[in-house]
Amino acid sequence: WWEGLDPQDLYTGRHFVPPEGIDSAAAMNAWHDAHDGQWIETPPERDPHFTALWAARQRDLLDKYRPDLCYFDDTGLPLGQAGLEATAYHYNASLRWRGELPVVNGKKLEPDQRRGITETVERGFSDTLRAEPWQTDTCIGDWHYNRARYTDHWYVPARSVVQRLVDVVSKNGCLLLNIPLRGDGSIDSDERQILQDIAAWIRVNGEAIFESRPWRVYGEGPTEVQAGMFGEGAQRPWTAQDVRFTTRAGALYALPLDWPDGGDITVRALGRGALNGASVERVELLGGGTVAFSQADDALSISPPDRRPVAYAPAFRILGRGLV
The DSSP string of 279-304 is ---EEEETTTEE-EEEE-SS-EEEE-
Radius of gyration of the chain (CA): 24
- Cβ-in-10-Å burial (0-12, 13-18, 19+) of 219 comes to buried
pLDDT for 225 equals: 92
Q: What is the dihedral of CA 112, 117, 123, 128, to 10 degrees?
A: 50
Q: What is the CATH number of the domain that holds 193?
A: 3.20.20.80
Predicted pLDDT of residue 44: 83
Residue 10 has pLDDT above 80, yes or no: no
Nearest to 107 by CA among 235, 228, 248: 228
How far the first Cα of the chain sits from its last, in Å, is 53
Average pLDDT, the chain: 93
| 161-192: pLDDT as tens digits | 999 999 999 999 999 999 999 999 999 999 99
CA distance 40 to 44: 9
Regarding whether 170 and 282 lie in a shared domain, the answer is: no
Domains identified in the chain, total number: 2
pLDDT tens track for 267-286: 999 999 999 889 999 999 99
In the predicted model, is pLDDT for residue 45 greater than 90? no
Check pLDDT > 90 for residue 4: no
Whether 100 and 199 map to the same domain: the answer is: yes
Domain that holds residue 304: 233-319
pTM comes to 0.89
Same domain, 155 and 251: no
Whether residue 32 lies inside any domain: the answer is no
b/e per residue 263-296 (b: at least 16 CB within 10 A): ebbbbebbbbebbeeeebeebbbbebeebebebe
Confidence of residue 16 (pLDDT cuts 50, 70, 90): low
**Is 227 inside a domain boundary?**
no
Residue-wise pLDDT for 92-135, tens only, equals 999 999 999 999 999 999 999 999 999 999 999 999 999 999 99
Closest to 173 measured CA to CA, from 181, 165, 184, 183: 165
Res 41 pLDDT > 90: no
Q: Residue 233: its pLDDT value, please? A: 82
pLDDT confidence band for 29 (50 / 70 / 90): confident
- Residues whose CB is less than 8 angstroms from the CB of residue 309 and which lie 6 or more positions away in sequence, other chains included: 204, 285, 286, 287, 288
Q: Give the Cα separation of 75 and 211 in Å (integer).
A: 29
- Taking only the tens place, the pLDDT of each residue in 223-249 is 999 899 998 888 899 999 999 999 999
pLDDT attached to residue 3: 79
Q: What percent of the chain has pLDDT over 90?
A: 82
Residue 23 lies in a domain: no
* Beta-strand relationship, 103-107 and 118-122: parallel
Judgement on whether residues 190 and 246 belong to the same structural domain of the protein: no
